[in-house]
Structure 1
Amino acid sequence: MSYILRMIEEGEHQHQDFKLRVDDPHKIAKTLSAFANTEGGRLLIGVRDNGEVAGCRVEEEYHMIQCAAEVHCTPAVAFETQVWKHQYFSVLEVQVPQSPKRPHYVEHRNAQGEAVTGAWNAFLRKGDRIHKASPVMVKVWQYEMRMDRAEFRYDEYVGRLFKKWRDGHHLRFPQVARTARLEFDQAEDLLALLTVWGIVEGAYGKQGWRYGLASEEALTLLESEGADAFRWKHAG
């Protein structure tokens, strides 16, 4: 079996997506943003959703990807390409590494498909799906890329929040803010810090993002030794 067929046999997953062709560079920019912001991945153009190789016009598809990466994403998303042959068909592989410049944003469009001036969204990939990143996740990426982070403050209300997590609760963002008695921007800072430190993790479901305990050991360390124990820690 050829290398391209072995890749296709894997199906669509966290690090791989199929596209028959790119009709809209703005839409494919979301895929590039998600790969760059998350763990990287590859896009196989000229492959149907069921894995059938249909081929593509490589030069046209390359220019669509270039437009998506450089015009519709900010900062621009880096990518590399490779052309594979299967019988008489060409498949364009687009490799997007996890980016050291994340988060990468895509211009927001209204219901009429018009770009909204000054409005940008970041995206992430979970399994074979793309999701709009929450403000918390955007801050996580920002914190991973720099060391000037929000200050961690512990009080009785944050303690109550920690107890809920220890009891197995997975809380939506408003519940986190309400329990800890924080303004929304302060709650975003807290969740971003705890995510970077590996204490809390977010999971996306039908009701949006919920946050639960990732490591009770790390939470105990935070309570006993304070934020200095995590000063240089990055998520993952």
Structure 2
Amino acid sequence: MRRLLRWALVGVFGLVGLTVAWALLYRVVPVPATPLMLIRAAGGSGLDRDWEPLEAISPHLARAVVAAEDTGFCGHGGFDWASIEAALEENEEGKRLRGGSTISQQTAKNAFLWPDRSWTRKGAEAWFTLLIEGLWPKRRILEVYLNIVEWGDGIYGAEAAARHHFRKSASALTRREAALLAVVLPSPLRWSPATPSAYVVRRAGIIERRMAVVERDGLAGCVR
């Protein structure tokens, strides 16, 4: 029994060490591919992405995704506890797990984990969120997020999205184009920023107004 316990502890500490090393590696090197990219590519979607440093991506897009996805990005430690509590209340009767994820959580999920809504995946997501919040600066979290998030069928990251939808580089995105890209993030296979529906246009206007608040409240203080 002691030997079994010893091997179990070795396994746990080995797994912890591996995940820490993985997170440290992604702090300094571009994420080569994500599980979602590989799954989609295996299904025939293709894989269009080009890694760009944060300074080569329009600051409008950084503000837009924070305004749309996580207005508390600069102030939290990886989790929006109010949203998590609301999600748990909705799911306490066994309903499907819903959102409330921060940009940090989404980055952890996309960079390291498989697409799933199970509690096991959620637990792993929480662990990797703690790792990147502890080991990466906020600037790096946002940089990785903008380079790996899905923006269409086989389209990943800001540069590929800007070229595909607006025929320009990510550095040249306007305020309006950035807002349109941010709006479609919850459902990039359903909505298009290039040919937006009335709903997407309406939401983009709301995001543009929020972007001014994000800029005023100091996104530059934690990112740029």
The TM-score with structure 2 as length reference comes to: 0.23
Higher RCO (CA < 8 A, seq sep 6+) = 2
- Higher percent of residues as helix: 2
- Higher percent of residues as strand: 1
Max Rg structure: 1
The TM-score with structure 1 as length reference comes to: 0.22
